[in-house]
Every structure is written in structure tokens, then in C-alpha cells.
Structure 1
């Protein structure tokens, strides 16, 4: 088995320098030399947008720094997906949407790459015109006007107009996720098509100016005529989804088996600077498998050709197969410089038994990271503590400076001990055995204090005689390793006297239960935050806590709300960084999640017919975005009989 090749990113393994520049630099408004110009009065005209006014790329930029502008076009990249799908409408509240079904649509400002991350992938908090060639807004950010590119077209050849933008904006408000609609209605008062290619958004006053212009500019744009002709709804699952204006469009699908997207040869925006060196594959194919084991066997057989590996056991031992030995399959470890996704066992705070923080702390002690990492994951992971692990605004020791002043200003909302103690850390355990007796003794004491006494039968009961029963549903497409992790957590809970019930269910059932928050504990995730924005309210705020899909715990904390509001009111990056650090501290204090592990590298394996820039950007792996197909390498594989 060959060793994985380590590929560099655009900076060293330490992620702090670039993020410090993003979060800690002085507020600066760039001059016309960098593309941000002031008109008469207080109107700002620009080719892009960032809240603090700084743009890395000037108006006349040729391409993003990290792409290969001469990357060849052609070939196919194929990937896998677990479970099933029954819709190609990615915005429906029902059903399971096909993977990447959202990437056929574009927005006024640059779209997110198909594999997530930021765009550009080397900066945070900046957007550049896509459907819009320029924008202008007043200095107070009470309105924004986008001037659209008249050449923009949907895949069916019809023009993309300001009327489509307004229609799409209103469609999300009427038929989109309630948490999204509720938040946006309070902030965006109106969307108006001034003519066929000019659209104006007017914003509410008396609120933070955050996530207004970028929110308006990031809405996917749908063809109004298609929706009206087909009497379609955004909230219904459907396989005949609306055409988009993006570089890739749906070519074919076989429900629960595969989806193929084809690059549109007539894509209107292929020569824009924002797109140079990107969208290099002729087709992107997604193969579906019932579970991860079947998916890996298919990769070994060449049924799909690119695999992002998340299973540590498989990465350590599973790649000893002939195609690797012969050099047909390459493995690479690519440093992952972004804060890891905050993943772990999430408590449903709507359950009576889990409202007591002492109970949550006790149950957290049932997870043994050290044993899990050594026994199940070959020691390849690190323990996660923070919602923004390794970012400069990760909370550490007791608060000082601007963060301390912010917390003090919030008065009685802040627990006294939060002002003088370090941020909550994930507990440590002994690696030799699953049940760390020291931690279990501490957990049992906490449960006793919380009123959950042990009965004669060894089960925990409250004062009403009700047993503590905790259901932990998870999808049948989960890897054997994750299944073992959940089982190990449940075993320790049972040792404490808790009736823990892991429940392995099919993907459709799991999706439904997840959306309806029908669980006591779920292995799920939040999202890390690199900057302030109203999306923090959807993830962590009280206003949408009862129904937000982005807040699986249902967290509703007045302290967290207040900190988020302060982050939205920050006037410079120092204030923003202090607020985000305080937010990380407060979230960890809530103990709403048992943090598990993270990997500081992306593990990828692929049949050796692809290439990528030697130096990759900070915030995206980019395999579907700026990698490319090497026809000569592909021919060698075919000649050797490796691939058909």
C-alpha cells in the first residue's frame, strides 16, 4: 500500500495567520484602485461586496489566484452518496434531495462551490458579481441596487432578469424554510425590479447592517416563467426541477442509483473572471449506495473515481488493494485549514430530562474519545473542544480585554463563573477501556444531584418514578465505525443506569425524524463561524429555536442571543472577533453537544486521472470546482485495463 501524498495549501498548517488578518485587521475602505469607488454623496459602487469594505480582488481581476487559468476542459469526475433520494428540488421541506441538485442555480453575487466552502476559496466574507456585474448601495446600507449582466441566460435559453430575482426572493419567503423566511422578512422590506436588469432591495432600519446586502445577493435565482407554467412549488419534492443558469445542469437520473450533471457548452458565464479555471469537467456523476461499505467496494472496482474518505480505519488499513499497489489509485492527505465542523452527540433540549445542564454534563462523560480514537480510529483524530477549533476566535483561558468587557456589559445574563474561568473543554478519559470509571463516578454523582436516583433495578428514575429513556436514531447508511461509536456511547449510558436505545433506521425515516426533532440524542452537527452574520440566529438563536433545521439541539439562550446581537453590531474586526470568541465560550458553557473528534487533513483517494493546482486555497478542497481531468493519464488507465 503506497503512502498518501501530502499536498500543501496556500499557507502552513497553522490556520491562524490568514484568519487573523481577516478578523484582526483594521477597518479599511479601499479606493478605486482596488475597485471600490465612492460616488457623489454616500453611494458606494463596486464589483463586489464585503461588510467592512475590503476586497482582495480589484475590479479588473483576471481570475482567482488559486485556480489554473489554463486548466483543460473535459472528462468526468464521479463520486458517491449514501442512502436514497426522491427529489431534484433541493429546497423542498419534504423528501430527500439529490446530491448537488442546488448547484445548477446561480445568484447575483458569486455562488458557493459545489463542495461547499467560500467563494473565493482563499478569503472569508467577500463576494464578487456573478449574475450582477456591479452593485451600488448607500453608506448606511439601507438599500442596494444590483445591475445584472444582460447576457445571463437560463439553460433553456431564456434570459435571467430582475423579475426572476424578485420572484425567487418572494418564493423563499412564501414557501421556503420557516426559519429563513421569518428572519429575512424582518430584515428585507422589499425587492423591486426597476427594469429588466436592475433590481433594488430595501432594508429595515433600526437593525444591524449585517447579512443584508450579501443576503440579497446570495439568493438562488429561478426562472419565474417555468414555475408559473408548471404550477410548481418550492416546498414540494419533484424530479423535474427548474432549469438554472449555472455551468452544470441535470442530465439524467435513476432514482436511488445515480445522478449525472453535464456542463452546459453554451453556459453564458464561462469567460467571466470569477469562472476562469473553474468548472473543468464535462460531467459530474453521483453514484448512490445503501451504505458506506458498499460504496467503498464500488470505488475499488472503479464504479466511481473520486472518494473523500472519512473512515479512519479504512484510511489506515483499507487501501491495500491492487489498484493502489499498481499506482492506479492515488491517496493524498491535504491539510484542512478551516475550523472543523462542530460534530457530536447533540442533546434535544426540548426533552424534559435534558433541560438540566447537570444531566447533559453527566451524559457527556459517557463518551470516551481516547478509547474511541485508539481502538476504532487508529489514533488518527484529535479531540474537538470548540465550535471554531483552531480559529483565532476560539475561546481559551478566562476572558480578558475586549471579550471580558463585552461579557461584563451584558450584566446578569452572564454566569459569574464564566467571567473568571477558562472555556469549557471536552473531558479527558483513559484509553485502555471503554468505561472510564473515574468519569462514570462523576457522572453518577451529577445525575444523583439532578434528581435521577438509581432504583433497585439499577435504572435511573426521577421523583415521579419515570425512567430516563434516551433514543439515539441514526441512519442505516452510517459506517461500521460510527455504528460502533454510537454503541459504545450507549453502553456507557446503560452503565450509568440510563436506558439508552440506539435505533438504526433507513435514510428516509432518519431524515423525517431529524426534521421533526424526533430524538433525544442525535449524532449531528452545527456550523463553525468565521464571521458575524444573521445566519448565527438560525443556528444558535432563540427566535427560530423551535423549528430551525440548523439548530438540532433547539438551543434558546438569552445570553447567546445577546452575544450574537453584539456581533452583528460590531463596527470593526476587533469587536467582531471579541464577540465571536464570547459566542464560542457561551455555546460551550451550555453543554448542548458532546464534542467528538476532528481531522486536520482531508483524506482523498482517486483514480489517477485528475490533477489540481499545486498550492490549494485555504477554505475549499475544490475537487468539483477547480480540479481538472488529465486525458493522457486517463488513457493510460484504460490501456492498462484499469478503467473502462
Structure 2
């Protein structure tokens, strides 16, 4: 029986078992190739074999113990991050695991030295046909929740359906259309079926990374996933909730009875005995808590503070370390997001004019100490970044999409940020260009200096800002709004508290906001939630409300690609299309991780590219901690 080249590659790279099952049909004999593996990657290129002992970048002998304390600005009133109402605490999902292992959302990938690979956690092995029409997860029978009850396939099916019934509508709609059925085969075997005649991209990893909750707990308590609450269901993860003291503190403790300590996927990870989160009214209070030793680890995102605020006694004593660690991910496309539901901003010329009010060069030099780099692409600095005119396979791909692709996309280079005068806030050349665009868009300046349309409506734009954001972010926004006012726009800077900000953000009650979108590293069904038209009106993951037939088609075609080379062509075209639609104005990014910490922690000498990993694979240095305390360091 012939073995396909793809199957040979899978067998060689993954150590996967390929089982050929022949099924007798009438009148002919058919066969189906079933792949069985310890992990999953769409193209079958797992880096770690079935008998791996630990990930290469971790310290498998990292000591367990100690505490890490982080500061957050704002407040919280819930431990349920899935409710639309309320403001959930950070790390509210840290107690829960999934069939395939993953790092905390937004913190990087697992493993952190390779992208888009998944390895079994609650599942010890998976099997699926070559066409990925379904997947079966074989679960580890020893897995249990923190209350001692077993984690079963019934809990997996329950969790999947709970997200569909009570989770976010944008998520539920997308998943129902692609995953019509989940079947419990036995207590430790669960099967998911996928819709026919659609792309199977991201479906196995989608169901494999759903957090698993206890069905018994939900049924006994009557709790709902869509309501804010402080009570948490038992999780199966290495940490359990220790203390909740709203609105000030949340503490998690390492579970010594955690069922999975001996798994290869967990070696050298989850090393702290306690993770403590301290909440403060604003970023100033959070920073002062760090200087005083109440908080022990800090990821800095304010260039001004990184450049000039780290001058305090603990620095002078050598008790606090500062490091710039490499960040291998392209930056997220973050900055000033335009609400495309705002009537004036539906005109691309207005958005272009508003963008000209942002002076990156002056902002970087005057407010950010020159530490930020400017960004133009959703795939900045990677081979997926669109450059120049489309040509070759990318041009052929775009032409194949027909009329949904404007001629301008084919004949012009992708959008790039404008240049401004670094020595003055108001760049006169850009101001003149912006005013011409606004005139052409039907918003001329009246005798009072205010722009109005033919109906006499004032061109008003509200910039929503969170009061607990950094001083540098506030200054950036206020100066930007000042430039908009010079154009004749009735621009208003609205700084509101954390609770109001969360509600207005969810209701999309703003014209302009600091927000963003993830970097483009590959395709997946999640792109539709982020950039697609279907959920554009209500998706919390699409703050601009982007709805573009061109973007929709490119996403659809990207999901049907059959090789990495084809996928790269599609993503490059998507980067070009998103930049053409112009719905976010990037405000720059830090090229590295900026971290400061009391010298009681350690990390691998060679850091992996795709995660900072402070809560994942760093560890507590008992000797250093004792020495600092003996020297008088104000540590707990």
C-alpha cells in the first residue's frame, strides 16, 4: 500500500502513528488515512517528538517556590471574564486547562520557541483523518479538577456547548457554523465533527484549546457563564484561587496536588508558589508600589517611565534589575482605532485627514524618548509584510478575487505612515493636506472656524480614554486632539474611569480609541472574528467594526490554502488589503520587552522568541531573596 509523501513527512517529523483503515463499501473498496499523534499542527510539522522530555528553552530543574507580585491599574468586580457586564480580574482563566496545552491568552505561544504548534495536555493523544473532517481526543484518565473529581469527556462537551449557549455571540456564531456536533464516546474519549465543504483550518486547535469546566459544579450551583460573579468553578490547572479581595487584590496559589506535575509539557513551568495581583487607582500608584517592594515584577510599556523613572534607592542598591529581552513576535497593530460606525469616519478621506493630525516623529522624540519604532504593517518585519506593488503570485491571487478588489489595491503600494516634522507638534504641510481632504469630503470650515456639512452638522469626534492609562498615552492623545482642533474639528478628549471605559468600549460608544488588532502570522478562523463582516456590528474583537467584502474574500481563500507557501501569499495580500481599508492608525511600538524586577527571579539564558514567560517558565531565586532581605530590602 503506497504511503503519501505528506504522510511520510508526518511520520518522520512527528513520530505520529499513521493507521490505514480499509472499509468495505458496495461495490468498491475505499480507504481512509487516520493520523494519530501526541500533538497537532495543521501542516504536520511538530518540532517535538512523542517522547520529548521537556521544551528546549525551559530549565527542567527550575526550583519551585516563592511569590511573584504584579501591579495593575484600575479595578475589578468579577472573576468571570466571559460576561459582558462587569470587569473581570486579570488571570481569571489561569486555573483552567484545555485538551491541547496553551499559554495564558495574550502572553505568547506554547511552546514558546515555535509558533502554531500544540501538544497534548488533558488529551494524551489525538486522531483525525487526512481531510480533518473530525477529530477524536483521547484524554488522560488521571486528570482531575482541584476538588478531586475527574475531568471527563462529558466536561469537555459541556464546556464547548456552554460557550455556544452563553458565550460571546461572535464566537458562538462562528463556531456553530463550523463545528456542528460534539460526541462523547466514553468517559475519556470525545469526538468533534466539522462542517462539510469548508476549510478545516483552525478547527482542531479551536476545539483543543477550549477551557474545560466542571459540569457538575455548574449544574449544582446554577451559575451562568454570561453573568459576572466572584465564585469560580474548580479548575484542573496547576494554580487555584487563594484570595479575592475586590477591588484591591487577587492571589493564586500553586496546587501541590495538581495531577499533571510529571507531564513533559509541564517540566520547568509553573514554578511560583503564589501569584499575587495588586490593583491600584492609576499607573502612578502601581509604579510606586513597585519601587517600594510591594510589587516585585513589572513589564514596562511607558517609554517615559522606562527612560527616566527608574531612579530610586532599590536601583542604586542593585536590588532591582532592568532588562530588555528580545520579542520575536511582530508587534500588534495597536494605536488609534477609527469607529467605522461613526458616520463621519465612514468616509476614508476623513480618516486620512484625521490621521494627518498625528505626529509620530514629534511624539516619539518629545514624549517617548525616541524609544518607539514606527509601524506600517500588520506583519511588520516578517516575510508576510506586503511591500511595493503586488506582483507574481500575490498579484495573480488578488486578480482572481474579481471586483471585490479595488483597482487602487493592484496599482499602488500599500499604505505606509505619513512623515511629520519631529521638531514641532503641528506639521504645517500635513495640516494643509488634511484640510484639503476635509473640504473634499464635504466638511468646509465656517466663519467660526468649525467644520460643518451641508446640513449644518458639526464635525465632532470623541476620543475615549481610560483614566488609568499611562501619562505618556494621555499626553499623546491630548496632543493629537489638539491638532484635530486646529483643523476645525470639534474634537473632544474624554477621560473616564475604568468601569465607564469598559462599558463604553463594549458598546462601541466612541469615535476614536486606543485599541488594536493582533499581528498577522498566519491564517485561521479567528480572522473572521477580528476582521470579518459577519460579526462586525457586535464583535468585541473588532473595535473598528471593519466590514469589507475584499477582506472577507481574502480570509476565505486563505483558509483554503494547501501549503505554507500559498498561505503566505494570501496573508501578504490580506496585510495589503487591511492597510488599504485604513481603520487603525499605529502609534508605534517597543521593539523589545522592557522588564524590571526585584533581583529574586531568574530566567533561561536563552529566551524563546514567542513569549516573555514570566508567569510560565521563570523561577524564584531563594538565595538572592534571602540576601536582599538581609541587606534591608523592603520585600514581604
TM range (shorter): over 0.9
The aligned counterpart of 1:255 is 246
Match of 1:466 in 2: 457
Q: Does 1:566 align with 2:557?
A: yes
Q: Gaps spanning 5+ residues in structure 1: where?
A: 1-25
How far 1:205 sits from its partner (Å)? 0.4
> Which residue does the alignment assign to 1:35?
15
What is the deviation of 1:30? 1.9
Give distance in 2, aligned partners of 1:388 and 1:504: 31
Q: Which residue of the other structure, out of 350, 364, 369, is the alignment partner of 1:359? A: 350
- Kindly tell me: are residues 225 and 173 of structure 1, through their superposed partners in 2, closer, same or farther at Cα, counting changes over 3 Å? same
2:107 is matched with: 116
8 Å CA contact retained: 1:340, 1:389: yes
Q: How many angstroms does 1:94 deviate by? A: 1.4
Residues 115 and 624 in structure 1, CA contact (< 8 A), matched pair in contact too: no
2:374 matches 1:383? yes
Contact 2:13 2:46 in 1 (8 A): no
Partner SS state of residue 512, structure 1: helix
Q: Secondary structure of the equivalent of 1:44?
A: strand
1:505 matched residue in structure 2: 496
Distance, in Å, in 1 between the alignment partners of 2:319 and 2:611 is 25
1:306 to 2:297 alignment: yes
Aligned partner of 2:29 in structure 1 is none
- Aligned 8 A contact 2:14 2:37 in 1: no
Contact 1:333–1:602 at 8 Å: present in 2 too? yes
Instruction: Measure how far apart 1:235 and its partner are.
Output: 0.5
Q: 1: distance between equivalents of 2:325 and 2:102?
A: 24
Structure 2 vs 1, CA of residues 83 and 556 (structure 1 numbering), >3 Å: closer, same or farther?
Answer: same
Q: CA deviation at 1:391?
A: 1.8
Q: Residue 541 of structure 2 corresponds to which residue in structure 1?
A: 550
Aligned counterpart, 2:467:
476
1-structure distance, mates of 2:596, 2:583: 35
Q: What's the offset of the Cα at 1:529?
A: 2.1
TM-score (norm 1): 0.95
State the Cα distance separating 1:352 from its structure 2 match: 1.0
Q: How does 1:404-483 map to 2 (within 5 A)?
A: 404-483=395-474
Provide the rounded CA distance (Å) in 1 between the counterparts of 2:118 and 2:71: 30
Task: List aligned pairs for 1:329-348, cutoff 5 A.
Answer: 329-348=320-339
* Distance (whole Å) between structure 2 residues aligned to residue 397 and residue 69 of structure 1: 46
Tell me the distance in 2 between the aligned counterparts of 1:414 and 1:459. Answer: 36
- CA distance in structure 1 between the aligned counterparts of 2:170 and 2:14, rounded to whole angstroms: 37
- Aligned residue among 618, 622, 628 for 2:619: 628
Q: 1:416 to 1:314 in 2, by over 3 A?
A: same
Q: Give the C-alpha shift of residue 419 in structure 1.
A: 1.2
Note the C-alpha offset of 1:388.
1.7
In structure 1, the partner of 2:27 is: none
1:32: Cα distance to partner?
A: 5.4
How many residues end up aligned between the 2 structures?
A: 619
> Contact conserved, 2:13 with 2:47, CA < 8 A, in 1?
no
Distance, in Å, in 2 between the alignment partners of 1:479 and 1:47 is 44
Output one character per residue of 1:476-531: Cα deviation in whole Å (capped at 9) or x when no partner: 10111111000011000000000011100000000000001000111111111211
Match of 1:219 in 2: 210
For structure 2, the residue ranges without an aligned partner over 5 or more in a row are 1-5, 21-31
Q: Which residue of 1 aligns with 2:278?
A: 287
Aligned residue for 1:48? Answer: 39
User: What value does the CA root-mean-square deviation take over the aligned residues?
Assistant: 1.1
Q: 1:126 aligns with which of 112, 117, 122?
A: 117
Aligned 1:177-216 pairs, distance under 5 A: 177-216=168-207
- Alpha-carbon spacing, 1:74–1:140, altered in 2? closer, same or farther (3 Å): same
Distance 2:439 2:315 in 1: 54
Aligned-residue offset at 1:351: 1.1
Q: Secondary structure at the match of 2:205?
A: helix
Give TM-score scaled by structure 2 length. 0.96
How far apart, CA to CA, are the structure 2 residues paired with 1:73 and 1:529? 36
Question: Is the Cα contact below 8 Å between 1:113 and 1:119 reproduced in 2?
Answer: no
SS in 2 for 1:563: helix
- Name the structure 2 match of 1:230: 221
**Contact 1:115/1:623 (8 A) holds in 2:** no
Q: Structure 2 CA distance, aligned partners of 1:314 and 1:55?
A: 41
Partners of 1:582 and 1:103 in 2: how far apart? 36
Distance change (3 Å), C-alpha of 1:268 and 1:212: same
> Does residue 136 of structure 2 align to residue 145 of structure 1?
yes
Q: 1:133 deviation in Å?
A: 0.2
SS of 2:10 mapped into structure 1: coil
Q: Report the equivalent of 1:496.
A: 487
Range moving further from structure 2, 410-419 or 628-637: 410-419
Provide runs of 4+ in structure 1 moved above 3 Å: 26-29
Q: Which of 46, 71, 83 is the matching residue for 2:74?
A: 83
Q: CA deviation digits over 1:537-591, x for unaligned, max 9?
A: 0000000100111100000000000000111011000110011111111111111
Q: Deviations over 1:222-242 (max 9, x none)?
A: 000000000010001110111
Q: In 2, are the aligned partners of 1:75 and 1:629 still within 8 Å (CA)?
A: yes
The residue number in structure 2 matching 1:57 is 48
Q: Does 2:555 align with 1:533?
A: no
Residues in 2 aligned to 1:279 and 1:300: alpha-carbon distance in whole angstroms: 26
Match of 1:5 in 2: none
C-alpha deviation, 1:420, in angstroms = 2.4
Q: What does residue 328 of structure 1 align with? A: 319
**Residue in structure 2 matching 1:392, options 368, 371, 383:** 383
Distance 2:235 2:606 in 1: 31
